[in-house]
């Protein structure tokens, strides 16, 4: 039997509700931390998006054509050559590495779950017996007082739309509702790691410096699953997908990587100098990035995120260190794309 779902309410009210729950429920310390992390993240997510809001610009949805999917996506890793990247005015040298061709899919994540019995943070039970849950985007019915993030205690990678949604996850769609610890657990199993921020952007640019100086929150990349129409009310789906797309439905970059920009945000490796407290970083924007809002579906797209937070637009992909022989340590057996 499914747990109850929190209705669409003001996020501040939601946070106050959770705080009241924390003070009265006698939750364990872990449960309190988990709930607190979710509350903080919902608030920061809302605040961040509001800060990122931009006036609508000229980039008509009609410029994008309907996507044509690769019939066999997500089966490989891509070799990324050595190079350098200037990130926040510091030149970073990039050693050769390999990166998943696409975001980790539901099918691949399901194999990990089946082999390990791992329970994602969204699915873990609180002291109340209810699942921790996750944040789900819902298009509001009107713009007045609209809040488009709903905290749903039934939502997880298995049920990305949660209790009120009708979309069943497809094996080839990105696994979402993934927290940072979930991604690390998967990486430990798969013999990989999360890419560093510099590796991720270097790979996302595909060998081009075209995004240098354009910065985050300024422009969605072409050929990325993003949002067409006026966010959050109008979603034309002119690129072929109103929500998540199966991986590999949009054009690859020059390295052969797909969906680096848009579709699902992707966790990158934490950095002790950059990340404070329980914060981490997600990159590349998502299907929710519109030209009037977010604009982070690009190689420079960034968002600070609580590591315990998960949502219907957050996934990941793995990187792999190269051995002197040119092999990597991954053990999931996918084809290497040179
Ligand atoms: Ca789209
Ligand atoms: Ca992505």
- pLDDT tens digits along 121-130: 999 999 999 8
Task: Quote the ligand 1 centre to 238 CA distance (angstroms).
Answer: 7
Tens digit of each residue's pLDDT (9 = 90 or more) over 252-304: 999 999 999 999 999 999 999 999 999 999 999 999 999 999 999 999 999 99
Instruction: Say what the pTM is.
Output: 0.78
CB 250 within 8 A of CB 263: yes
Same domain, 235 and 288: yes
Q: Is 148 helix (H, G, I), strand (E, B) or coil?
A: coil
Counted domains in the chain = 2
Task: Quote the ligand 2 centre to 4 CA distance (angstroms).
Answer: 30
Task: Quote the ligand 1 centre to 67 CA distance (angstroms).
Answer: 9
Tens digit of each residue's pLDDT (9 = 90 or more) over 89-117: 899 999 999 999 999 999 999 999 999 99
Which of 137, 141, 166, 142 lies closest to 152 in space, CA to CA?
137
Task: Quote the ligand 1 centre to 175 CA distance (angstroms).
Answer: 17
Task: Quote the ligand 2 centre to 145 CA distance (angstroms).
Answer: 29
pLDDT at residue number 152: 96
Mean per-residue pLDDT, 13-34: 33
Which of 197, 210, 212 lies closest to 284 in space, CA to CA?
197
Beta strands in the chain (DSSP E): 76-80, 83-87, 90-94, 97-100, 134-137, 149-152, 265-268, 279-283, 302-306, 314-315, 319-321, 335-337
Same domain, 42 and 70: no
242 alpha carbon, closest ligand = 1
Mean per-residue pLDDT, 230-250: 94
CB 176 within 8 A of CB 312: yes
Mean per-residue pLDDT, 73-95: 88
54, 72, 87 - which closes a domain: 54
Same domain, 111 and 189: yes
225 alpha carbon, closest ligand = 1
Which of 295, 243, 286 lies closest to 265 in space, CA to CA?
286
Q: Give the whole-angstrom CA distance, residue 138 versus residue 161.
A: 9
Q: Give the whole-angstrom CA distance, residue 108 versus residue 186.
A: 10
Confidence of residue 61 (pLDDT cuts 50, 70, 90): very low
Task: Quote the ligand 2 centre to 69 CA distance (angstroms).
Answer: 15
Same domain, 25 and 70: no
Mean per-residue pLDDT, 173-195: 97
Q: For residue 279, what is the domain's CATH number?
A: 3.90.1580.10
289 alpha carbon, closest ligand = 1
Same domain, 39 and 61: no
CA 176 to chain CA centroid, Å, is 7
How many CA atoms lie within 13 Å of 198's alpha carbon, on the beta-carbon side?
Answer: 18
Q: Is the pLDDT of residue 185 over 70?
A: yes
Same domain, 43 and 95: no
Same domain, 48 and 68: no
- Only one residue has tokens 């949502």, namely 311
pLDDT at residue number 34: 37
Confidence of residue 218 (pLDDT cuts 50, 70, 90): confident
Mean per-residue pLDDT, 209-224: 73
Least confident range from 71-75, 150-154, 193-197, 316-320: namely 71-75
CB 71 within 8 A of CB 244: no
Range of the domain at 310: 57-338
Q: Is 281 helix (H, G, I), strand (E, B) or coil?
A: strand
Task: Quote the ligand 1 centre to 72 CA distance (angstroms).
Answer: 20
**Average pLDDT along the chain:** 78
Task: Quote the ligand 1 centre to 225 CA distance (angstroms).
Answer: 4
CB 267 within 8 A of CB 279: no
Same domain, 279 and 228: yes
By 3-state DSSP, what share of the chain in percent is helix, strand and coil, each rounded to 5? 20, 20, 60
Confidence of residue 70 (pLDDT cuts 50, 70, 90): confident
Q: Is the pLDDT of residue 58 over 80?
A: no
Same domain, 16 and 122: no
Bridge partners of residue 306, in order along the sequence? 279
> Taking each helix axis from N to C terminus, what angle separates 106-116 and 180-190, rounded to the nearest 10 degrees?
80
Q: Give the whole-angstrom CA distance, residue 130 versus residue 173.
A: 27
Task: Quote the ligand 2 centre to 243 CA distance (angstroms).
Answer: 13
Task: Quote the ligand 1 centre to 226 CA distance (angstroms).
Answer: 4
245 alpha carbon, closest ligand = 1
266 alpha carbon, closest ligand = 2
259 alpha carbon, closest ligand = 2
Confidence of residue 167 (pLDDT cuts 50, 70, 90): confident
Same domain, 105 and 217: yes
Confidence of residue 75 (pLDDT cuts 50, 70, 90): low
In the chain, the percentage of residues whose pLDDT exceeds 70 is 71
Task: Quote the ligand 1 centre to 203 CA distance (angstroms).
Answer: 22
Q: Is 276 helix (H, G, I), strand (E, B) or coil?
A: coil
223 alpha carbon, closest ligand = 1
Query: In 10 A of CB 10, how many CB atoms?
Result: 11
Same domain, 70 and 157: yes
Task: Quote the ligand 1 centre to 308 CA distance (angstroms).
Answer: 26
Q: Give the whole-angstrom CA distance, residue 164 versus residue 301.
A: 30
Task: Quote the ligand 1 centre to 161 CA distance (angstroms).
Answer: 16
54, 71, 92 - which closes a domain: 54
67 alpha carbon, closest ligand = 1
Mean per-residue pLDDT, 80-89: 91
21, 39, 54 - which closes a domain: 54
Helices marked H in 62-195 — which ranges?
A: 106-116, 180-190
pLDDT at residue number 215: 66
Same domain, 24 and 154: no
Q: Give the whole-angstrom CA distance, residue 298 versus residue 262.
A: 7
Task: Quote the ligand 2 centre to 315 CA distance (angstroms).
Answer: 8
317 alpha carbon, closest ligand = 2
């Amino acid at each position: 039997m499914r747990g109850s779902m929190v209705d669409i309410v003001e996020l501040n009210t939601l946070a106050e509700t959770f705080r009241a729950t924390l003070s009265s429920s006698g939750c364990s310390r872990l449960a309190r931390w988990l709930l607190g992390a979710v509350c903080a993240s919902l608030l920061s997510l809302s605040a961040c998006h509001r800060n990122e809001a931009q006036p609508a610009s000229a980039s008509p949805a009609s410029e994008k054509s309907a996507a044509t999917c690769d019939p066999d996506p997500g089966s490989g890793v891509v070799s990324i050559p050595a190079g350098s990247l200037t990130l926040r005015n510091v030149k970073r040298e990039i050693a050769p590495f390999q990166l998943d061709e696409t975001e980790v899919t539901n099918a691949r994540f399901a194999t990990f779950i089946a082999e390990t019995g791992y329970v994602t943070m969204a699915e873990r039970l609180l002291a109340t017996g209810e699942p921790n849950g996750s944040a789900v985007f819902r298009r509001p019915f009107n713009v007045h007082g609209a809040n488009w993030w709903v905290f749903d205690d039934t939502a997880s990678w298995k049920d990305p739309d949660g209790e009120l949604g009708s979309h069943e996850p497809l094996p080839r769609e990105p696994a979402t509702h993934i927290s940072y610890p979930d991604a690390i657990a998967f990486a430990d199993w798969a013999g990989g790691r999360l890419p560093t921020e510099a590796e991720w952007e270097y790979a996302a640019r595909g060998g081009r410096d075209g995004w240098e100086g354009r910065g985050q929150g300024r422009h969605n990349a072409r050929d990325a699953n993003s949002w067409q129409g006026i966010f959050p009310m109008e979603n034309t789906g002119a690129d072929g997908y109103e929500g998540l797309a199966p991986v590999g439905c949009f054009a690859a970059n020059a390295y052969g990587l797909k969906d680096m920009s848009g579709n699902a945000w992707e966790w990158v490796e934490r950095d002790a100098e950059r990340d404070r407290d329980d914060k981490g970083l997600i990159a590349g924007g998502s299907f929710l990035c519109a030209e009037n809002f977010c604009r982070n579906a690009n190689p420079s797209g960034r968002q600070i995120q609580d590591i315990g937070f998960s949502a219907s637009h957050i996934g990941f992909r793995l990187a792999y260190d190269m051995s002197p022989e040119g092999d990597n340590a991954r053990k999931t057996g996918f084809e290497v794309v040179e």
